[in-house]
Structure 1
Amino acid sequence: MKNTIYKLSVLVFGILVFQSCDDLDEVEVPNFDVAFNTTAKVDEPVQFTVDNAPNFLNFYAGDFGHQYKYKDRTNADGKVTMSFLNSQKWGLGSNATETLTVWYSKDYDGSGTAEAVNNATWIEITDRFDISDRYDFDFQSSGEVDISDLADGENIYFGFRYFSDNVEDRGAEWYFDGFEIEMDVENAPAPLTVADMINPGFKSVDVQGIVDGWNAAKWYYDTGKNIWRMRGNSDRIVNEDWLITNAINLTKVNPDKGMPLKTYSEQLKTFEYIYGKAGTYTITFVGSNETIYGQEGNVKEYTITVTE
């Protein structure tokens, strides 16, 4: 009898332990709530209170750049424009104008060698832009130029070519800054940035007239002024130098991003957010519970109206 009772006790204990393990393996679906005032004023903090926050929680405010529906958008269709700032001085004779031209290539290999530049097919588009012919270093805008016809989903390179074969007169010096490519997308309150001075960045390529001087007769980045500069043919040489972007895809855009509010070990009760423009926004919270046994998620949407 005692032996039978013992066996039953062991069996019951085993079942309980097995159930407990099953419970430990189970990952709970996030069951959080968010409270806030559904009306707000521009530039005034909105306070959000989170009850029963999950292990991880991300917040999409719904304003420009933070919309959940665009979290996976990496390509878009829209009008693509390009602009930059440029200025020149010191050029004499035929070097006073037209030493800077604008080109693009779709078969350049991006290596930054003179051979690669010479082997690529370059198409000139200088006439689309306003290039400075003033004798000063006051930046002039190129204008916001439509380049939508060049957007085909393939990589493209833009090159800013300095060329002078006038070795008698002083060569021009150029300043270059403010490079930007943007896309106007339907329903977006502002253009999306496709490229700028930093992303994807530039390479300078000496094609002809290479000299040993650090900043002589070549494009170089002036860390004091934080601009690109071209010194021209100060050494009285035939000179060809290129400032070329890294590869750009004119249909590629950055996906919208959420704000990570908490990670596994952090506590979260309240947080604040400020809207800079009036409008009605769809707010999205993305919560998830994660363990070594798996992950469960929950997405909750709310609406807020922001007025002036």
Structure 2
Amino acid sequence: MKNIYSIIVLASVFFTACQDDSVDIPTLNVSVDKTEYLEGELAQFQLTGNADFVTFFSGEVGNRYEYFERTSEKGTSILSFKSALANGTQESSLQLLVSQDLSIEGIRDSAAVAQGITTATWSDITDRAAWANSGESKASGDIDLTDFSDKPVYLAFKYRGYPGSVQNKWTISSLAVRNNLPDSTSYIIANHGTSTINNYGISSTTSPGWISRNIVNSYNWAVSSTNFVITGSTDEGTASDAEAWCISGPIDLTHVTSDVGILVKNMAASMPDYEYQFNTAGEYKVTFVGKASNVYGEEAVVKEINIVVQPSDE
């Protein structure tokens, strides 16, 4: 019995030593009948190899392999919105402010939030925007925030109401913050709500959201996914001081949405041929990425083909 036990132990040790705890580099070969196409023509790719997974990147914006891990890129940071003014004629009732040291994340206590707002450092950029002077919506124009892009920013609309006259009603709509890159791509990185933002067909970015907080009096911003609205006193006889803030969550002004590929083969499928239609003239770096994967990790092989798409005569 002792000898049998020893044999079992030795066999187990030998088997463990012989186990391969690595991942073999996969094979992937890609060929194509031609490298020039007309707009709307199908490109036919022939694939062979033993890769478990194959992902296709067309080279179009949003589908470029070189940017599939990119989340940040320095560009020109632009804020835009529309404003509308109703009720009253009080001046200096709305300011646009930026802070880079506000600290209210996760705080639910109203007094603590108010304290955070009043102790933060705010830069007044009201004069960078064009503002409505009537109930008709007016575009703010492009408000350049690039000088604040070294670290995340908090944007704020600060409302003030004064005693002695009817107080203003402000509506802010169509708000967006964009990161415009030198290659002419533009990424929306913030909007009114907390919904996902779609950039070049990729819905993966969530707006930082907004909160409203009244500091003086009970008038406050109504925050929705389409606009921000505040209405002060409509009775000049009872109007008294009012102050309320509408503040964004932190916005990384250098943020971009990572490009993604199209999975054309999974582990359970056989190696397919693949066809793709290019609808816009241009030069594209088509990339196929083959991967092998097991419990010890993964290995990848990358194949690139340059494709030229010519304008159609139609």
Instruction: State TM-score, norm by structure 1.
Output: 0.78
1:294 Cα deviation after fit? 4.2
One-letter amino acid of the counterpart of residue 269, structure 1 = P
Alignment correspondent of 2:223:
221
Alignment correspondent of 1:193:
188
Contact residue 110 and residue 246 of structure 1 kept, 8 A: no
What secondary structure, in the 3-state scheme, does the structure 2 residue paired with 1:132 have? Answer: coil
Judged with a 3 Å threshold, the aligned counterparts in structure 2 of structure 1 residues 43 and 201 are, in CA distance, closer, same or farther, namely: farther
Percent of paired sites with the same residue: 27
Alignment correspondent of 2:212:
204
Alignment correspondent of 1:71:
68
One-letter amino acid of the counterpart of residue 186, structure 2 = P
Within 5 A, what are the aligned runs for 1:1-16? Answer: none
Could you tell me how far apart the structure 1 residues matched to 2:80 and 2:165 are? 33
1:143 Cα deviation after fit? 0.8
Alignment correspondent of 1:230:
230
1:165 and 2:162 aligned: yes
Task: Work out which of the residue numbers 134, 141, 144 in structure 1 matches 2:142.
Answer: 144
Alignment correspondent of 1:258:
261
Task: Work out which of the residue numbers 169, 175, 178 in structure 2 matches 1:181.
Answer: 178
Alignment correspondent of 1:105:
99
Task: Work out which of the residue numbers 26, 31, 34 in structure 1 matches 2:30.
Answer: 34
1:104 Cα deviation after fit? 0.4
What secondary structure, in the 3-state scheme, does the structure 2 residue paired with 1:69 have? Answer: helix
What secondary structure, in the 3-state scheme, does the structure 1 residue paired with 2:155 have? Answer: strand
Backbone CA RMSD of aligned residues: 3.0
Could you tell me how far apart the structure 1 residues matched to 2:247 and 2:52 are? 46
Could you tell me how far apart the structure 1 residues matched to 2:240 and 2:167 are? 10
Alignment correspondent of 2:130:
130
Alignment correspondent of 1:10:
none
1:168 Cα deviation after fit? 3.0
Instruction: State TM-score, norm by structure 2.
Output: 0.76
One-letter amino acid of the counterpart of residue 191, structure 1 = S
1:221 Cα deviation after fit? 2.9
Unpaired runs of 5+ residues, structure 1, are 1-13, 211-216
What secondary structure, in the 3-state scheme, does the structure 1 residue paired with 2:287 have? Answer: strand
Judged with a 3 Å threshold, the aligned counterparts in structure 2 of structure 1 residues 290 and 231 are, in CA distance, closer, same or farther, namely: same
Superimposed CA distance per residue, residues 119-152 of structure 1 (whole angstroms, 9 cap, x where no aligned partner): 111110010111111233xx32211122221221
What secondary structure, in the 3-state scheme, does the structure 1 residue paired with 2:153 have? Answer: strand
1:47 Cα deviation after fit? 4.1
Contact residue 42 and residue 275 of structure 1 kept, 8 A: yes
Could you tell me how far apart the structure 2 residues matched to 1:54 and 1:119 are? 57
Contact residue 93 and residue 159 of structure 2 kept, 8 A: yes
1:167 Cα deviation after fit? 5.1
Could you tell me how far apart the structure 1 residues matched to 2:297 and 2:169 are? 64
